């Protein structure tokens, strides 16, 4: 068995020692290719994963207005209280697995994955109790009794999906951080296609109605994680990183939580602020129009967001790998390259939004009032996407370095000290309506992006590489001493 690197090995390798590849390719071109190779499948994979719940709601929409509104509120509540929390905690593996892989401490990836699954399963039990009383919680907040009870019933049938979602996120991060991304895309594609059939069978053939659509999420997530788990166990690519179940996964759970909790806060604080916009839109004059338009804008923005989210996932892998390997200059180069790629993507997508602004509304509604309102909103959404795109790739750099605590503080300040107060001011004091709410979030995105950019540009990459080595070897040292 090959010996693991020791603490006495050189900790830093400066990136200047890297050779040019191919026929005189520059390091920049090589880095662009690496990031696009990672980002392409990840963008498709994340998009296909997010489509699953959307398909379920579409099936419910054909059952009636009450069923649709109940399922929509339940899905939103599930995202805020459960899925965002689990996705955020799992994103700590971007740092842990990525840096361990770069440091060639391959066995640690499997241990980190098992530890994360254990912690996320315990968290899921707590969330499941909250979900069981969703109907009563919504009634306390003044929701319509019929809708509240319908949402409570729908989300209870989503509880099995909660216990599968955590392991799915852990498997995706486990593979992503070792640059294995094509299986993630393929499994997500198979699952999304299969989900249509599963929904049809449970909703119509079995006759479960909206309960069947909720349960279908669990079936599809289970299909997805099963495909990835089988791949991990049979693929030669994962042989060094998956060495079987280990009791070491039960060790240092508190240490894992120190990174997982800020990771969750970093994701949740941002996610919750956008959900809060929809709630605030219900307080505006003509709330049906405002809520409908804002929901359409958020849905459109979420679809476009998958592109920078894929880039952010790619850069977290590149930065964590290079820091773990002791190559600070390579990590610095990767961060510069992704900023340029992010700007290019933001310009292309933003211009596309502006060009289709008069037509986009017809994809969601035939009401002329809705279409016209959306056409006015699209330029603002395009500008906000520019800053959202840049903050997303900068957040990816932060996860790769292990700056989740800093990221959580940035998001708290940007969204809750600047964004939400600005949204309330623009919407209710200056009577800007839904456009005012979105302008408030735009302010938050600008502050968030500028803070993350300042932190990134002032980074001492050599020091970050040393910290990565300390993190990796600090976790793996007990195992090294026993071998």
Residue 397 belongs to a domain: yes
Q: What are the tens digits of pLDDT across the range 321-366?
A: 999 999 999 999 999 999 999 999 999 999 999 998 888 888 767 7
Write down which residue in 229, 251, 273 finishes a domain: 251
- Worst-scoring range by mean pLDDT, 95-99, 145-149, 156-160? 145-149
Q: Give the pLDDT confidence score for residue 14 in this predicted structure.
A: 42
* Choice between 18 and 322, residue whose per-residue pLDDT is larger: 322
Please write the tens of the pLDDT for every residue from 94-129: 999 999 999 999 999 999 999 999 999 999 999 999
Which of these ranges, 43-47, 51-55, 261-265, 305-309, has the smallest mean pLDDT?
51-55
**Number of C-beta neighbours around residue 285 at 10 A:** 8
Question: 321 lies in which domain range?
Answer: 259-476
Contact 105, 326 (CB under 8 A): no
Question: What are 27-41's pLDDT values in tens digits?
Answer: 889 999 999 999 999
The CA radius of gyration of the chain, in Å to the nearest whole number, is 23
According to DSSP, the residues that pair with 21 across neighbouring strands are 25
Whether 384 and 469 share a structural domain: yes
Q: Which residues contact 470 (CB under 8 A, 6 or more apart)?
A: none
In tens, the pLDDT along 372-425 reads: 888 888 899 999 999 999 999 999 999 999 999 999 999 999 999 999 999 999
Residues 237 and 342 in one domain: no
Give the bridge partners for 408, in sequence order: none
344 falls within a domain = yes
Domain boundary residue among 197, 220, 251?
A: 251
Please indicate, yes or no, whether residues 271 and 165 belong to a single structural domain of this protein: no
Residue 6: the pLDDT is 39
Contact indicator for 70, 57 with CB cutoff of 8 Å:
no
Answer whether residue 80 shows pLDDT above 90: no
Distance, CA of 370 to CA of 192 (rounded, Å): 30
Q: Same domain, yes or no, for 373 and 245?
A: no
Q: Are 304 and 360 in contact (CB under 8 A)?
A: no
pLDDT at position 477 is: 47
Q: Which residue has the higher pLDDT, 479 or 281?
A: 281
The mean of the pLDDT values for the chain is 86
Number of domains in the chain: 2
204 and 343 fall within a common domain: no
pLDDT at 291 over 80: no
Written as six digits, the tokens of 105 are: 């401490």
3-class SS of residue 21: strand
**476 membership: H or E segment, kind and range:** helix 461-482
For residue 16, pLDDT beyond 70 = no
Q: What is the pLDDT of residue 281?
A: 78
**pLDDT grade, residue 25 (50/70/90)?**
low
Distance CA(97)–CA(105), nearest Å, equals 9
3-state secondary structure of 449: helix
User: Please, are residues 199 and 214 in contact by the beta-carbon 8 Å criterion?
Assistant: no
pLDDT at 475: 61
What is residue 56's predicted lDDT score, i.e. its pLDDT? Answer: 84
- Report the predicted TM-score, pTM, of the whole model to 2 decimal places: 0.85
């Amino acid at each position: 068995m090959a010996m693991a690197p020791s603490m006495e090995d050189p900790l830093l390798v400066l990136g200047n020692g890297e050779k040019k590849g191919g026929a005189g390719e520059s390091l920049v071109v090589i880095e662009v290719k690496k990031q696009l190779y990672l980002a392409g499948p990840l963008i498709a994979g994340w998009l296909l994963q997010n489509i699953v719940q959307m398909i379920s709601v579409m099936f419910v929409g054909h059952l009636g207005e009450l069923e649709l509104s109940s399922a929509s509120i339940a899905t939103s509540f599930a995202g805020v209280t459960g899925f965002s929390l689990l996705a955020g905690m799992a994103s700590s593996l971007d740092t842990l697995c990525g840096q361990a892989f770069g440091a060639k401490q391959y066995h640690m990836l499997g241990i980190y994955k098992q530890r994360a699954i254990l912690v996320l399963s315990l968290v899921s039990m707590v969330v499941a109790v909250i979900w069981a009383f969703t109907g009563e919680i919504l009634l306390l907040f003044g929701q319509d009794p019929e809708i509240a009870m319908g949402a409570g019933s729908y989300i209870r049938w989503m509880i099995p999906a909660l216990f599968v979602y955590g392991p799915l996120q852990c498997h995706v991060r486990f593979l992503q951080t070792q640059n294995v991304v094509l299986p993630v895309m393929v499994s997500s594609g198979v699952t999304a296609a299969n989900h249509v059939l599963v929904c049809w069978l449970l909703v119509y053939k079995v006759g479960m109605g909206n309960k069947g659509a909720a349960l279908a999420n669990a079936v599809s997530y289970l299909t997805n994680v099963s495909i990835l788990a089988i791949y991990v166990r049979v693929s030669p690519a994962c042989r060094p990183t998956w060495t079987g179940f280990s009791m070491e996964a039960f060790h240092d759970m508190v240490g894992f939580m120190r990174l997982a909790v800020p990771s969750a806060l970093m994701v949740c604080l941002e996610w919750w602020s956008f959900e809060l916009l929809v709630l605030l839109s219900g307080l505006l004059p003509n709330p049906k129009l405002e809520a409908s338009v804002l929901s359409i804008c958020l849905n459109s923005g979420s679809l476009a967001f998958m592109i920078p989210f894929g880039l952010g996932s790619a850069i977290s892998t590149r930065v964590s790998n290079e820091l773990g390997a002791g190559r600070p200059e390579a990590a610095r180069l990767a961060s510069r390259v992704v900023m340029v790629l992010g700007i290019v993507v933001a310009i292309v997508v933003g211009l596309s939004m502006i060009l289709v602004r008069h037509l986009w509304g017809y994809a969601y509604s035939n009401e002329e009032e809705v279409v016209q309102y959306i056409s006015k909103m699209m330029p603002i959404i395009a500008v906000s996407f520019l800053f959202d795109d840049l903050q997303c790739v900068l957040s990816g750099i932060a996860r790769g370095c292990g700056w989740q605590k800093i990221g959580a503080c940035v998001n708290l300040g940007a969204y809750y000290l600047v964004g939400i107060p600005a949204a309330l001011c623009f919407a209710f004091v200056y009577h800007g309506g839904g456009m005012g709410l979105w302008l408030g979030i735009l302010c938050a995105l600008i502050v968030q992006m500028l803070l993350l950019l300042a932190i990134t540009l002032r980074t001492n990459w050599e020091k970050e590489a040393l910290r990565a080595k300390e993190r990796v070897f600090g976790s793996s040292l007990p195992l090294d001493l026993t071998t």
